[in-house]
Amino acid sequence: MTMVLFLCVHNSARSQMAEAFLRQFGGGRFEVESAGLEPGTLNPFVVRAMAEVGIDISRNATKSVFDLHAAGKTYDAVVTVCSKEAAERCPIFPGRAERQHWPFDDPSTFAGKRGRP
């Protein structure tokens, strides 16, 4: 099984979504986790958006990349999903994993109103 880690700054949105999508659509070929440099709280808009596509992440906890490293975790692939603007703060994970960067804007900076347009 391929071990994959998704990383971002807070592990509250982008990395959580990536983890959930790969778990849902990876056909059981991946063991997947996500973590952040400064774990925050799960973004309620992300929980709602994922529920709208049939994926429940409401019970997910945010995790620290430091805790995963301290636990001796290793991965085959590490994918960072920080925005281009936050690339210098995006965490790294030591080891021999294949590294990829998929930049996504930080949803916590989005402005707008709750509800539907």
Q: Known catalytic residue: 8?
A: yes
Q: Known catalytic residue: 49?
A: no
Per-residue HEC secondary structure of the chain comes to CEEEEEEECCCCCHHHHHHHHHHHHCCCCEEEEEEECCCCCCCHHHHHHHHHCCCCCCCCCCCEHHHHHHCCCCCCEEEECCCCCCHHHCCCCCCCCEEEECCCCCHHHCCCCCCCC
The active-site residue, picked from 8, 9, 18, 68, is 8
The active-site residue, picked from 6, 12, 90, 91, is 90
The active-site residue, picked from 15, 20, 82, 91, is 82
Q: Known catalytic residue: 90?
A: yes
Residues belonging to the active site: 8, 82, 90
